[in-house]
Amino acid sequence: MAKSPNQKLKLLYLMQMLLEKTDENHRLSVAEMIAGLSAWGIAAERKTIYDDLDTLRRFGLDIEQVKSKGTGYYVASREFELPEVKLLVDSVQSSKFITQKKTEALIRKIEKLTSIHEAKLLHRQVFVQNRVKSMNESVYYNVDEISSGIVQNRKIRFKYFHYTVKKEKEFRRNGSYYEASPFAMVWDDENYYLIAYDTAEKMIRHYRVDKMNDISLTGEAREGLDAFEALDVAAYGKRVFSMYAGQECVVRLLFANDLAGVVIDRFGRDVTLCAVDSGHFTVSVPVEISPQFFGWIFALGRDVRLLAPDTVVAQYREHLEGVRKLY
C-alpha cells in the first residue's frame, strides 16, 4: 500500500494538533492522536506516537502527561499565555485607528496563539460592535509604508484628508500631495500619529495615520534629522493635547489634591507638584495652547484653575465666553 504524501509531515501535523486542541483542561489520548492523523491520511502506531512526543519535547514543546481518568497529553506552556493573549486582543479592539473589519481579522489571528478551547473562552469576552472605529481600511498598510520610509531613510508622499458631514473624504491642499520625512510613529489619545519633517513648511509636524491616503516612498533621502533629534518625542506628546498643535507656553495650574493622579497621568511621574495648602498644589508645565487644552481644563471643573501666564488666562476667558454665547 502506497504511503500518503502527508506521511513525511506526520510530526508537524501532530504538533499542530497538540497546539490547537490541547491545554491544561483539554487533553488528547494516544488513540485520539492516531485518529486525528488518520483524518489527514497519515498512518501511525502507539510506539511511533510515543517517539514523536519525545522528539517534540526535545524540540522544545512543553508536553505534559496526565494519568488520572485515562492518560492524556497536553501543551502545558506556550509562547503567549492566555492573559497575554487577552491583553493583545484588548489592545486591538480598543484601537480606534484599526477598522472594524481589520479588528475582527486580527483577533481571529491572535486567537490562534491559544488552543481552540481557550479561544472560545476568549471570544466570549470580546466586544467589537458599536465601538468608534476608523473608516479608513488602508490604515494597516499606511503603517507598513511609513515604517519602510523610516527604515530605508526615504521621504514619503501622501494625501491628507478629513471627513465631511456626508462622511465623505475631503482632501486638504486641494488634493495635492504632501511630502515629508518620516521619523517616528506615536500613540496618543487612541490614535496613531506620524511625526515627520514637512518638506514644504520646513518644520516638524504630526499627521494622523488613518487620515493619510496614497502613501508611497520617494527616491529622496530624508531631511530634517537635526530638527527631529532636537525633539523630545515623549515630552511632545505630553504638551500637545490630543495632538492639536498650538503655541508652546509654560503654564501654571492650581489643582485640588484629589487630581494628583490625573496630573501625573497627563504629564508623567517627573512632574513637580508644589503644595500650596493642605488641599491644593500647583504645577508649571509646558503645553501647546489649543482649544483641546482649554477643554481638558474645563472638564476638570472647579478643582483646577489656570493661574499664569496672564495672556493664556485671557485666552481661556475668551474661549469660555465664546462657548457661553452659544447657549
What pLDDT is recorded for position 128? 46
User: CA torsion angle for 253, 259, 264, 269 (degrees, to 10)?
Assistant: 100
> Contact at 8 Å (CB) between 88 and 80?
yes
Angle at alpha carbon of residue 208, lines to 252 and 204, rounded to 5°: 65
Residue 67 burial (CB count, 10 A): 7
Residues 222, 182: contact at Cβ < 8 Å? yes
Asked if 63 and 53 count as a contact pair (C-beta separation under 8 A), the reply is: yes
Instruction: Using alpha carbons, list the distances in angstroms from residue 278 to 6, 110, 118, 301, 320.
Output: 76, 50, 51, 19, 29
DSSP class of residue 43 equals -
Written as one string, the DSSP assignment of 222-278 is: P--HHHHHT--HHHHHHHSGGG---EEEEEEEEEEGGGHHHHHHHH-TTPPPEEEET
What nine digits make up the cell of 69? 481518568
Q: What is the pLDDT of residue 292?
A: 84
Averaged pLDDT in 10-residue chunks for the chain of 327 residues: 73 95 93 94 93 96 86 92 87 78 87 90 57 66 90 95 82 94 84 88 89 93 92 71 69 93 84 91 90 89 94 94 89
Q: Answer positive or negative: Cα dihedral of 305, 311, 314, 316.
A: negative
pLDDT at 94: 76
Pairing of the two strands 154-163 and 169-171:
antiparallel
CB-CB neighbours of 243 under 10 Å = 19
Which one-letter DSSP state was computed for residue 25? T
Cα atoms in the 13 Å half-sphere on the side-chain side of 162: 6
